[in-house]
């Protein structure tokens, strides 16, 4: 508690360059740090206390994504040659509470569940689900529709309801828009 108070009295750290959509919902105490460009797409929701760090490489997040509390997006160390593009989220990606994502790319409609860890240079396909507490090692390529669950078990989801799920993400964004007061100006 005290440390956060002290931080607020300090002169604010230089803001990272941002490119924010006008329909973005971003909570007042989300933390955007770093020196590279952070791009957030339309209808995306950034919860309070989310940490987006572009200290080592840019972050580009598509539209209708939900980034939950205490999750950390962005590289935590200097990138390798092929990771210079930073972290890219396609549309409709959900990152749940406490997840750490350093991935190169996360495909459309994928869900990163509570406290999951996605290593550097990982490429996750479309409509994947990385279960809570699961880890994806650096450099792995996860094909579309993969579900990682339990202690790292994997399967391919063939239920074919991905469009329905994307629709539900849209609805979730609508609800969150009403719940989270946005402060776009602070980050521009």
**Residues found near other proteins in the complex (CB under 8 A):** 129, 131, 147, 149-150, 153, 155-161, 164, 167
Tokens of 111: 């869900």
Compare residues 6 and 171 and give the one whose CB is closer to other proteins.
171
Compare residues 27 and 106 and give the one whose CB is closer to other proteins.
106
Tokens of 185: 């100006």
Task: Give whole-number Cα distances, 61 to 6, 65, 77, in Å.
Answer: 30, 7, 19
How many C-alpha atoms does 39 have within 13 Å on its Cβ side?
15
Compare residues 15 and 165 and give the one whose CB is closer to other proteins.
165
CB of 157 to other proteins, least distance (A): 4
CB of 136 to other proteins, least distance (A): 16
CB of 27 to other proteins, least distance (A): 27
CB of 159 to other proteins, least distance (A): 3
Cβ neighbours, 10 Å, residue 123: 16
CB of 97 to other proteins, least distance (A): 16
Q: In what order do the strands lie in the sheet with 94-95?
A: 25-26, 45-46, 66-67, 94-95, 111-112, 129-130, 146-149, 153-156
CA dihedral of 162, 168, 172, 174, whole degrees rounded to 10: 120
Compare residues 156 and 179 and give the one whose CB is closer to other proteins.
156
Compare residues 80 and 153 and give the one whose CB is closer to other proteins.
153
């Amino acid at each position: 508690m005290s440390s956060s108070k002290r931080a607020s009295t300090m002169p604010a750290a230089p803001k990272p360059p941002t490119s924010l959509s006008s329909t973005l919902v971003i909570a007042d105490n989300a933390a955007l740090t770093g020196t590279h460009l952070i791009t957030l797409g339309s209808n995306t929701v950034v919860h309070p206390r989310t940490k987006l760090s572009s200290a080592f490489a840019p972050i580009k997040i598509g539209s209708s994504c939900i980034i939950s509390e205490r999750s950390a997006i962005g590289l935590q160390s200097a990138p390798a040659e092929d990771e210079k593009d930073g972290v890219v989220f396609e549309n409709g990606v959900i990152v749940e509470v406490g997840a750490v994502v350093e991935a190169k790319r996360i495909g459309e409609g994928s869900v990163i569940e509570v406290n999951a860890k996605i290593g550097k240079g990982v490429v996750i396909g479309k409509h994947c689900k990385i279960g809570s507490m699961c880890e994806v090692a650096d450099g792995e390529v996860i094909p579309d529709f993969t579900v990682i669950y339990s202690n790292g078990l994997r399967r391919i989801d063939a239920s074919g309801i991905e469009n329905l799920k994307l629709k539900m993400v849209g609805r979730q964004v609508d609800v969150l828009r009403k719940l989270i007061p946005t402060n776009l100006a602070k980050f521009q």
